[in-house]
Amino acid sequence: MLRRLLFILVPLAFLLVAALALPLGTVLAQQETQRVYVDRLSDVGRFASLGDTAMRTGRLEALDSELTRYAELYGIDVAVADPAGEVVAASVPPNQAADLLDSSRVQAVMTPALAGFRPAPPTAVWPWESGPLVLAEPIGRDSEVAGVVVLVSPTDRLRASILYDWAGLLLLSLVPLTGLAASAWPLSRWVLRPVQRLDGATAAVAQGDLSVRADAAGGPPELRRLAESFNAMVDVVQKAVERQRAFVSDASHQLRNPLASLRLAVENLAPFLTGPDARTAHQDAVEEAMAMHRMLNSLLAMTRLESFSGAAPVDMDGVLAAHAGRWRVLGAQRGVTVETRVPGGLWLMAPPGGLGSVLDELMSNATRLSGGTRVELRVRSADGSDPGEESASEVAGDAAAESARGAPDMVELHVSDDGVGLTDEERAGALRRFWRAAKHQNTDGTGLGLAICAELIRGAGGELRLESGLPRPDGTGHGLDVFVRLPLAPAPRPDATHGAPHEAAHGAAHGATTGGATNGATDAIDADPSGASA
């Protein structure tokens, strides 16, 4: 940000100085030109007076002598011509005088002079112009023009003088320009320091750290007020979150025990119920109590999702080592084959402590609700190709190539089944809270599990959506594919992760079963594996 601001301020300083220096340089050139013009105008006026006397008396020798001495002394050629344009006297030989008056520049000023008018003075002589300064003065009185005096003055000294003035102006302009450039760095740092601190505090708050406050000291008053307003806003948010968490804690404490007592009391009524209708009503009451308990766990989980607003590197090898065996056992119990096609050594940016539980929920839904015979977990590179048995370095290379072309550095995970699947309308609503498919209304669950998974994945900078899955064995359609897209994480150096990758990944993936405070959302998913009905 500091470089960008300097990139704006320094060129603006140059433009400002140039905007002032250019008009001033033009004025200096015009003033120097006018000074020389006035000096030459007095000389040509004197020669016009001498020429008038010489042409009336017919004595041209004195005029020739005067013009020659003037040319020798100043290096300026002068010629006197009659009304017909013929040379009468000149400071150069006659053959050169004719060539001198034949130039287009001289003719341009002679013509109005022969008509009795003094030509307009030049505005400025520029250093890059090499032509002489030409002046013409009519000879005669009143309307009678007896001839014209033409003075052709070289401009070498004039152009050198203008260049000298411009050089002094340039040196003088460097003083404020250097001051502006030198002050731009500390001024930019003074202005941007509170912005950078505010940006850091905002990023920390976005990651879920509500204890961070922006430093309101230093910088412009407007930025100090902005930092104070930001701190006040974070105070309000922190208090609201603390009140919400306190309410959740109180509700959890106050509702769990009554629900447990209610369920126990209802179950204890079983020996006293003899009629079939009473037993049916009793079983419905037990199931409703259990559903209320699951609903309470899920609602508590939704209130803790703010703890998962960030992402951390997770080793897929560790996740599979901790969970794949459970998936296969669960699938075998339900007659479903579970396959995993994940290259080794793959690291992803995933919800801290949540990726394993998210995959648990997706696998539980696929084996329990799909009605199929096969569930597959596979990884696809960012360009959509199926890596099959390729290594994680090849998947990372594909993602890096996508990143080099401007695409996000992402990897796709797919949990696909060959079951009954969902219609387009059902897939559009399946990620909403409490959503249940019509064919799963009588299945245990709250309809929150898949919504929690989507929240966790989005909090880690990824995406979760539902698509068509594997083809059904009978060829009548496709099952469901839960598409999870997560950022690719660089594999840690061996010396930094020695002895830790499996432990870190296992803790991240299996942490939901430990009951930690930061794993509340995934606790509810594990406690209620049927939470989603997708």
More confident residue, 355 or 161: 161
243 in a structural domain: yes
Q: Structure tokens of 319?
A: 């996740």
Residue 234 sits in which domain range? 210-303
Q: Can you tell me the distance from the alpha carbon of 307 to that of 305, in angstroms, rounded to the nearest whole number?
A: 5
Q: What is the CATH number of the domain that holds 294?
A: 1.10.287
418 in a structural domain: yes
464 in a structural domain: yes
With the C-alpha atoms ordered 243, 525, 523, 208, is the resulting torsion angle positive or negative?
A: negative
Grade residue 513 by pLDDT with cuts at 50, 70 and 90: very low
Q: Can you tell me the distance from the alpha carbon of 519 to that of 320, in angstroms, rounded to the nearest whole number?
A: 19
Final residue of a structural domain among 257, 274, 303: 303
297 and 402: one domain?
no
Whether residue 396 has pLDDT greater than 60? no
DSSP 410-471: EEEEEEEE-SS---HHHHHHTTSTT---GGGTTSS--S-HHHHHHHHHHHTT-EEEEEEEEE
296 and 419: one domain?
no
pLDDT for the residue 67: 87
DSSP code of 2? H
Whether residue 96 has pLDDT greater than 50? yes
Could you tell me which of 210, 201, 271, 276 has the C-alpha nearest to residue 244? 210
Contact 151, 44 (CB under 8 A): yes
DSSP code of 58? T
pLDDT for the residue 442: 54
pLDDT for the residue 7: 65
Final residue of a structural domain among 303, 331, 348: 303
127 and 40: one domain?
yes
416 and 521: one domain?
yes
450 in a structural domain: yes
Q: Cα-atom radius of gyration of the chain, to the nearest Å? A: 47
pLDDT for the residue 223: 80
Grade residue 468 by pLDDT with cuts at 50, 70 and 90: confident
pLDDT for the residue 61: 84
Strands (E), 264-373: 312-315, 337-341, 347-350
Q: Can you tell me the distance from the alpha carbon of 436 to that of 31, in angstroms, rounded to the nearest whole number?
A: 89
203 in a structural domain: no
299 and 317: one domain?
no
Q: Can you tell me the distance from the alpha carbon of 350 to that of 348, in angstroms, rounded to the nearest whole number?
A: 6
Q: What is the CATH number of the domain that holds 40?
A: 3.30.450.20
118 and 255: one domain?
no
Total structural domains in the chain? 3
Collapse the DSSP code of 373 into the 3-class scheme (helix H, G, I; strand E, B; otherwise coil) and give the result.
coil
79 and 128: one domain?
yes
Final residue of a structural domain among 160, 178, 194: 160
284 and 351: one domain?
no
- Helix count and strand count (H, E) for the chain: 15, 11
250 and 338: one domain?
no
Across the chain, what does the average pLDDT equal? 76
Q: Can you tell me the distance from the alpha carbon of 346 to that of 378, in angstroms, rounded to the nearest whole number?
A: 12
382 and 282: one domain?
no
Adjacent-strand bridge partners of 89? 80
376 in a structural domain: yes
Grade residue 446 by pLDDT with cuts at 50, 70 and 90: low
pLDDT digits (tens, 9 = 90+) for 471-496: 888 888 888 889 888 888 877 766 54
Per-residue 3-state assignment (H helix, E strand, C coil) for 189-246: HHHHHHHHHHHHHHHHHHCCCCCCCCCCCCCCHHHHHHHHHHHHHHHHHHHHHHHHHH
Q: Which residues of 56-76 are buried (b: 16+ CB within 10 A; e: fewer)?
A: eeeeeeebeebbeebbeeeeb
Q: Can you tell me the distance from the alpha carbon of 43 to that of 151, in angstroms, rounded to the nearest whole number?
A: 9
268 and 317: one domain?
no
168 in a structural domain: no
pLDDT for the residue 526: 41
Could you tell me which of 34, 37, 134 has the C-alpha nearest to residue 78? 134
Q: What is the CATH number of the domain that holds 519?
A: 3.30.565.10
pLDDT for the residue 500: 40
177 in a structural domain: no
Most confident of 63-67, 189-193, 194-198: 63-67
467 and 341: one domain?
yes
Q: Give percent of the chain above pLDDT 70.
A: 78
